[in-house]
Structure 1
Amino acid sequence: MGIVSENVAASPEAAPVEWLTLPDLVEVLGEPLGRVRRLIDDHHLVGSRRTGVFAVPSVFIVDGHPLSSLRGTVIVLQDAGFSDDELIDWLLAEEESLGRSPIASLLAGHKSEVRRLARTLA
């Protein structure tokens, strides 16, 4: 796979982020390219071109599927005026009020807490 690593999170001890390109997503999700693009268009996944090629952080995929709580959170952040790059950075960075990154909270099943915080950012 063409996985790219980049340290996006604000804290220096944060692990580098693995990015999945479109061909990687086709393989990981087991879906055709058209379906993968639709998942992105419908905000089930969000990505960036910061590495030169469009890619999605691998942490947004759980057990071969987009993280179910990601879509609503992405929409809340976009409604607050965040660009895709800004919302990815926010999701991956440590958030003091949560005691961890918003994506870690989503992965732990705390979507209401994350979305409540996201709404205050507007």
Structure 2
Amino acid sequence: MTDVLDQVKSWISVPEAAELLGEPAGRIRRWIEEHHLIAIKRDGVLMIPAEIIVDKEPLPSLPGTMIVLLDSGLSYESAFKWLYTFDESLPGTPMEFLLKGHKSAVRRLAMLLAL
């Protein structure tokens, strides 16, 4: 079985994100804690999907979506993976739809997880 995180085309480290965003690494870590960015350990290193940085800014729909997922009872890792898991009702991955600007459809789907 393949790992859904293989869907991520490019990963960047916290220092790389800091350089890309022109922010100190401490702010990047705070943005991860506040869900403005998401990160997961890959081979022991905290990595961020590069695609969630759009026009040198964190994807604006991400924090609210992560909060809905966490409030629905998912763990952080499960929520992260859910964003990259294909869903026929979209059809595609929730992350693909967030990147296309369809946050309402993704959040409606995420809210169903709590039921």
- Which aligned pairs between 1:29-68 and structure 2 lie closer than 5 A? 29-68=21-60
Q: CA deviation at 1:15?
A: 4.7
Q: CA deviation at 1:9?
A: 2.4
Q: CA deviation at 1:107?
A: 1.1
Q: Which residue of 2 aligns with 1:81?
A: 73
Q: Which residue of 2 aligns with 1:97?
A: 89
2:94 aligned partner, one-letter code: P
Contact 1:8 1:16 in 2 (8 A): no
Kindly, what percent of the aligned residue pairs are identical? 47
Superposition RMSD in Å: 1.8
Question: Where is the helix percentage greater, Structure 1 or Structure 2?
Answer: 2
- Selected match of 2:16 from 19, 24, 32: 24
Q: TM-score, normalised by structure 2?
A: 0.88
Contact 1:44 1:70 in 2 (8 A): yes
d(CA) in 1 for partners of 2:44, 2:87? 27
d(CA) in 1 for partners of 2:86, 2:36? 22
Contact 1:45 1:71 in 2 (8 A): yes
Contact 2:11 2:49 in 1 (8 A): yes
Gaps of 5+ in 2: none
Q: TM-score, normalised by structure 1?
A: 0.83
